[in-house]
Amino acid sequence: MKLFSYEAYGLPPSGFDPHKTFVRSSLISPLVLAIIRAVLALYCFTTIIVCYSWLSHNYSTTNLQDVNISSYTLITGSRGIGQSFSFFTYLTFWSLGFYFLFASIHTFFYWRRNTAWLYSWPRPLQLLHSFYYTTMTCFPFLVSIVFWGTMYSGPWSALGKFEKWINLSVHGLNSLFAITEIVFPSTKLAPWSHLSVLLVVLSLYLGLSYLTRWTGGFYVYEWMNPAHGWVSIVVHILCYTGGIIAIFFLVQGAIWVRVYLTGEKRKEEAGGNLVKLADGSQFTLASAFVSKEEVSISVIRV
């Protein structure tokens, strides 16, 4: 298997996602899964619209800090709307919205027609969807952990209703939304090669952040300022790299547990056992919850 091939990143020659794991669930019906995804997409986009509308006429105040940086106050107004496209938090939240939008459309089509646009797309787009799923089940946790663990300095009681709601949405509910995509769909473990995709995206974002400093005149995150020392920048980069690696392994473990508890792997294996009768009819053992060795079939000819 070549390192830079479709197969290396989870698209085997036999075809993309033959068991339709991206659009079905072992826990809920395709319709319920589609509705959940649609509701989450609606919430993401509604949150962004309300946030931008509020900032266009008001100022948001948040107290932040960092491991080696004293507490400082971030005041955000109408200029923050354009600047938000340079923040990893908002880029991730936008991405969640579009992911749930497309995922809900695919799932609705699967519920109605037993197939979806996704399975007729060109292989490059199918590969990108697979990458998309991996990023959306990993990056939200990095956002939440970094913000609540190292950046937010409080006090919570001093925040206004808007600040509380928007921070809980983009730094808290984002991870809850990611959990729904780990728990409900029948997706399998991501190929380990997807870890490289996460690292590449973070590297590209680092470049975007310094491009923002050059074009916009501000540092997206204060730790990126060389005034605090280059050692601090390197340590932050290494910590975030280690963090996303740990998150990827934890997500893989969570998916493995879900696959094991739902018996998804056994059902897929049983689904491949086609039984053909003498009259030409056929069926599969997809509903069997026993191993192949425990199944015996006797065909009695009359």
153-194 pLDDT, tens digit each: 989 988 999 999 999 999 999 999 999 999 999 999 999 999
Interval 193-225: pLDDT, tens: 999 999 999 999 999 999 999 999 999 999 999
Which of 3-12, 88-97, 252-261 has the weakest average pLDDT? 3-12
More confident residue, 290 or 252: 252
SS3 for the chain is: CCCCCCHHHCCCCCCCCCCCCCCCECCCCHHHHHHHHHHHHHHHHHHHHHHHHHHCCCCEEEEEEECCEEEEEEEECCHHHHHHHHCHHHHHHHHHHHHHHHHHHHHHHHHHHCCCHHHHCCHHHHHHHHHHHHHHCCHHHHHHHHHHHHHECCCHHHCCHHHHHHHHHHHHHHHHHHHHHHHCECCCCCCCCHHHHHHHHHHHHHHHHHHHHHHHCCCCCHHHCHHHCHHHHHHHHHHHHHHHHHHHHHHHHHHHHHHHHHCHHHHHHHHCCEEECCCCCEEECCCCCCCHHHCCCCCCCC
pLDDT at 291 over 80: no
Per residue in 90-137, pLDDT tens?
Answer: 999 999 999 999 999 999 999 999 999 999 999 999 999 999 999 999
Asked if pLDDT for residue 280 goes beyond 50, the answer is no
